[in-house]
Chain A
Amino acid sequence: MSELPQLIVDGLVSGAVLAIAAVGVSLVYGILHLVNFAHGDYLTFGAYAGLGVTALGLSMVVATVVAVAATAALAVGLQLVLWGPVRRRRAGLLSSFITAIGLALVLRHAIFLVVGAGSRAYPVDQFSVERLGPVRVSISQLIAISLSIVAIAVIGVLLARTSIGRSMRAFADNPELAAVAGVDVGRIVLATWLVAGALAGLAGELQGLIQGAFDPNMGWNLLLPIFAAVVLGTIGNAYGALLGGFVLGLVMELSTWSVLGGGIPASYKYVVAFLALILMLLVRPQGLLGRRARAL
C-alpha cells in the first residue's frame, strides 16, 4: 500500500513551499510588526521573474537565482520607498495593514498588466516520474524538494549561525534589548526584507514548478495557508514558521488518506487544515513553538 508514503511526500512538497514563504512572513511580522498582506504577490513576482529567465532559454538554475534576487530586490526596494516612509509616519498596525492590501492590489495587477492573464508553465517535464521505493515523484517535485532542502538548510544556517540571522531573531524576540546589544535596527530591517523577499522569490518559483501551470493569482491564493503556517508555528518564530508550513502541508494531504474513514473529500482539505489550526490554538494558545507567556 503506497498511499500513505505517497501522501507524506506530497504533503512535504507542498509544505516546503508554505514553510519557505512562511519564514519570511514570520520574520517580517516579528521584526517590523507588519502583516504583509502583499506577501503572496511577492511570490507571484518571483515566479514570473524566473519565468522571464527561462523564456530567454536559460536554465532553471539561472531562473532560480534571478527569481530569488529579483524578489529580494523588490522587497528591499519597497521597504525604501513604501514601508520606511509609512513607518516614519508612525502608522499603526491596521493602517499598515490597509496599506498592504493596497500594495497587494497594485502588485498583482501590475503583474497582470505586464504578463497578461494566461496561465504559464516552466519548461520542465511535468510527467515523468522517479520511483523512490513506494513513492512516485516528478522532476518538478524533485527539484522543489532538493531546492527547499537547500533553502531550509541555508535559512537554518543563516538564522542560527550568522551574525545577521542571530540579530534578526534577537530583534524579533526583544527589539529594545537588540538595540541595546548593539544591533543596528535599520540594517536589520533591510536584511529582514532581503531574506523575506529572497525566500518569497524561491517559494514562488517552487510553487510554479510543482503546480505545473500558474497565473498571476497564484501567490494570492496561497496567502491564507501561508499565514496559517506562520500562526501554527508561533507568530514571529522563524523556526516555528518552517515547522508550521510542513505540518500544514501534511495535514492537508493526509486528510485525504483513505484509512481515515475512507478519506475526507479533497474539497474539504482547507477545512481540515484550518480546523487543525483552530484546535491547536485552543490547546496551545501560543502556537507550536511558543512559550507560555508569564502571567503579568
Chain B
Amino acid sequence: MLPMLQVTGLSAGFEDVPVLDGVSMTATPGSTVAIVGPNGAGKSTLLKAVYGLARVRSGRVVFRRDGAEHDITGWPPHRLTALGLNYVPQTDNVFAALSVRENLLLGATARPRQALARMERLLVEFGPLRTVLDRPAGALSGGQRQSLAVARALMSEPVLLLLDEPSAGLAPSAVGTVFGHLARLRSEGLTIVIVEQNARLVLARADNAYVLEGGRNRYEGPGPELLQDARVVELYLGGGAHATTPATPAAADQ
C-alpha cells in the first residue's frame, strides 16, 4: 500500500535557524505513527514543516488520497486543510476569545457543508464540550482545551491528523480522555501522526514510530518494539542511563 504521507529528506526551520536536517518518514493509511525523541530533536518542527508552518529548505512532502498524489511541499495550511490534512498545535490551540461553538465551527472553514450536523456528531463523542458550548474557550480547563482542539481539527473531516504533544501539561485523567479520543479515531480509520513527550504512552499505541534526535532520523520501527529498545530509553535518560538503570523498558510495558 502506498503511504498516505511520505516525507523525504526534509530540511526545514524558522527564519534562518535550521532545525530539521534531512528527515524522512511515511504514514500508511489508517495507521498511527508516533514521532518521539528528546527535547529539541525537531519533532514539532517536522509537523509544522509538513503543515506549511515552517520554512522548507529542501526535501519533499507527498500526500496521497483517493488514488491522487499531491506534492504538498510548502503548501499553505488552508490548502492542506481543504485537501484533508489537519494539525493540532501543542499550545495555544484554541481561540481563547471565541466560544467553544465558534471554535468548532471555525474548524469547518474548509468544509462548510453540513458543519452543524458534523458538530452534533462530534459532540456525541466529545460529550463534556456540549455543556460549555457558549463559554469562551479561554475559560476552559487544559483537558477541555485539548479535547476542543482535537474536535476542531476533526470538523474539517481530515483523513490525516497531525498532533503535537496532546498530553503536554494535562492532568493524568485528561490525558486519559484525550488518548481515548485518539483510540476511537484510530478505530475509525483516521491516519494519525503524533508527536509525544510521553514515549511509553504513545509507543505502546503506535503502529510505527520514528525516533528523532538533533533534527535527524535516529531509529524507527513498530511502536511496541521501540518501546523495548534500551537505546530509546538511553536517548531519553542520557548516556549512562542503561548502564545504571535496571532494565526499565521491559518493566515499563506493563
A182 with B78: in contact, given A163-B109, A163-B112, A166-B106 (CB under 8 Å)? yes
A199 part of interface (Cβ distance < 8 Å): no
B92 touches A177 (CB 8 A): yes
Q: Quick one: CB contact mask for A220-246 with B, threshold 8 Å, 1 for yes?
A: 000000000000000001000000000
B216 interfacial by beta-carbon distance below 8 Å:
no
Cα–Cα, bound, A170→B137 (Å): 12
Please pick, from B82, B89, B96, B97, the residue contacting A182 in the complex, using a CB distance under 8 A.
Answer: B82
Once the chains bind, are A237 and B97 in contact (CB under 8 Å)?
A: yes
Is the pair A177, B89 in contact by a Cβ cutoff of 8 Å? yes
Q: In the complex, A181 Cα to B82 Cα: how many Å?
A: 10
User: Are the C-beta atoms of B109 and A183 separated by less than 8 Å?
Assistant: yes
Contact residues in A for B95 (Cβ distance below 8 Å)? 169-170, 173-174, 177-178
**What residues of chain B lie closer than 8 Å to A3, measured between beta carbons?**
none
Contacts of B76 in A (CB 8 A): 179, 184-185
- The answer for the CA separation of A170 and B104 in the assembled complex, in Å, is 11
Query: A181 contacts B107, CB within 8 Å?
Result: yes
B138 and A166 contacting across the interface, CB-CB below 8 Å: no
Nearest A residue (CB) for B156: A182
Nearest-Cβ distance from residue A92 to partner chain B, whole angstroms: 16
B97 touches A166 (CB 8 A): no
Contact B53 A173 (CB under 8 A): no
A163: B residues at CB distance < 8 A: 105-106, 108-109, 112
A180 lies within 8 A of chain B by Cβ: yes
Answer yes or no: A291 CB below 8 A from chain B CBs. yes
B98 touches A182 (CB 8 A): no
A291 touches B96 (CB 8 A): yes
Check A176 against B53 for contact (C-beta < 8 Å).
yes
Q: Which residues of A contact B63 (CB under 8 A)?
A: none
Contact mask B140-161 → A, CB, 8 Å, 1/0?
A: 0000000000001100100000
Q: Does any Cβ of A come within 8 Å of B220's Cβ?
A: no
User: Quick check: is B102 within 8 A (CB to CB) of the other chain?
Assistant: yes
Q: With A163-B112, A166-B105 in contact, is A182–B81 under 8 Å at CB?
A: yes
A167 at the interface (CB under 8 A from B): yes
Tell yes or no: B86 within 8 A of A by CB: yes
Q: Is the CB of A180 within 8 A of B77?
A: yes
Query: Of residues 90 to 137 in B, which have CB atoms within 8 Å of A's CB atoms?
Result: 92-98, 102, 105-110, 112
CA distance A169 to B109 in the complex (A): 13
Question: Closest Cβ of chain A: how far from B93's Cβ, in Å?
Answer: 6
Q: Which of A167, A177, A237, A291 contacts B138 (CB 8 A)?
A: A291
Q: Find the B residue at minimum CB distance from A171.
A: B95
Q: Tell me, rounded to whole Å, the shortest Cβ–Cβ distance linking A31 to chain B.
A: 13
* B51 proximal to A (CB < 8 A): yes
Q: How far is the CB of B95 from chain A (nearest CB, A)?
A: 5
Question: Which residues in A have their C-beta under 8 angstroms from that of B112?
Answer: 163
Instruction: Give 6 A-B pairs besides A170-B102, A182-B110 with Cβ atoms closer than 8 angstroms.
Output: A170-B106, A176-B92, A177-B95, A179-B78, A181-B106, A184-B78
Q: Would you list the 4 A-B pairs with minimal beta carbon distance, nearest first? A: A182-B81, A182-B110, A184-B78, A173-B97
A-B contact pairs, 20 of them (CB 8 A): A163-B106, A166-B106, A167-B106, A169-B102, A173-B98, A174-B92, A176-B53, A179-B53, A179-B76, A179-B77, A181-B106, A181-B152, A182-B80, A182-B81, A182-B86, A182-B109, A182-B110, A183-B109, A291-B96, A291-B97
